[in-house]
Structure 1
Amino acid sequence: MKFKTLVFFSIFSILFFAGCDSKDDKKQDIQPSNNSQSQFNLNTLKNIPIEIGFSDNKLILKDSNNKLVLVNFFATWCPACKVQIPNLVKLQDDFQNDLVVVGILLEEFKSNEEILSALKEYNVNYSVTNAVEGFDLAKTLGGLKSIPTSFLVDKEGNIFQKYVGIVPNEMLEIDIKKLLEK
């Protein structure tokens, strides 16, 4: 019985602290360039446009209404990403006046209907994009070695923290509260 418990907690710990590996092993984790300037026009699953700009190491979500932004890169096939979704839903609920959560889907050839069906059980209350430009945004931010990967951005567009893998809500809440106190 003790062995089974030990094995269970070992497997859970591995899944909890690790994300899903990128399918492209040749990607390098480079830092974003200070001179990089890009504009990304993404569409949500509800066909609402989202404009994200990246310039001088600032990630600006147009129409964020002076809120913090949490950008989450994920895929529907990724078990760690699925575990992270309820945490993001809770954060959006708890900080709805101060935070905008945006999910950037990193999957090709999926229709909005397929994605909505996959996310239906999670009652997602934040914007989720389904656009090829999401891959370009990930590259501009230095590339991603695993998902989920999230970026917490302050009201001025500065990237405050990068999170790789599943992040406990308590950690995200502490960082969000730090930024709100500034």
Structure 2
Amino acid sequence: MQFKTLAFLSILSILFFTGCSSEDKKTAQESQNSHESSIQSSKKEIKLSTIDNKNITIIKENEKIIIKEYPNKIVLLNFFATWCPPCKAEIPNLIDLQNKYSKDFVVIAVLLEQGKTNEEIASFASDFKINYPVTNSKSNFDLSNSIGPIKSIPTMFMIDKDSNIFQKYVGIVPVEMMEMDINKVLKK
């Protein structure tokens, strides 16, 4: 009995403290190519497209990350991939946070995979009952490089109401930790 408990806790801690390396599935190379093109264009404004064909405009201004469509909200940018087990494991927690704090908080999922259609990602979002915006565009990699670069997934950035990065999370994060951070930002 103790062996099973120890084995379970060991596996759980491994999943908790690790994420999927973006080296898997050639994401790193795609990200590097995108980074080179973003340097050439030197734009501070990045437009992401959601799977339901809406736009999210993100402006990186010095250390600030301004999300035009969500002023005065705490934003959690969730960089993920559909093939990543830890990314899938955290979705129920993100759904719960989105429901619980919908007045002041929004999750934006930023897909770091190329070659996925909006229909494929919409099916994935439906299967997991995702209730927050999911972006699927080449600009996702520009954003990843602009505020990262993102080297493993899941990686999340909590942005406070003043457009500052309040917290960066790498790997699976306990929902209690994210909730504590949301409450800290709300009390500011």
State the TM-score, normalized to the length of structure 1: 0.90
Structure 1 position 163, deviation (Å) = 0.5
2:172 equivalent to 1:171: no
The within-5 A match list for 1:62-73 is 62-73=68-79
* 2:39 matched residue in structure 1: none
Q: Between the two proteins, what is the percent identity of the paired residues?
A: 54
* 1:10 matched residue in structure 2: 10
Q: Is the 8 A contact 1:37 1:56 kept in 2?
A: no
Cα distance in 2 for residues equivalent to 1:94 and 1:142: 28
After superposing on structure 2, the runs of 4+ consecutive aligned residues of structure 1 that deviate more than 6 Å are none
* 2:156 matched residue in structure 1: 150
Matching residue's letter, 1:18: T
The within-5 A match list for 1:101-116 is 101-116=107-122
Q: Is the 8 A contact 1:39 1:51 kept in 2?
A: yes
Aligned residues: 174
The within-5 A match list for 1:47-62 is 47-62=53-68
* 1:140 matched residue in structure 2: 146
Cα distance in 2 for residues equivalent to 1:80 and 1:177: 24
Structure 1 position 122, deviation (Å) = 1.8
> Secondary structure at 1:107's aligned position in 2?
coil
Cα distance in 1 for residues equivalent to 2:48 and 2:68: 11
Q: Which has the higher helix share?
A: 2
> Secondary structure at 1:51's aligned position in 2?
strand
Offset from partner CA, 1:40-81 (integer Å, 9 cap, x none) = 111101000110111111011002131111110000000000
Structure 1 position 37, deviation (Å) = 6.1
Cα distance in 2 for residues equivalent to 1:62 and 1:48: 13
> Secondary structure at 1:77's aligned position in 2?
coil
Matching residue's letter, 2:21: D
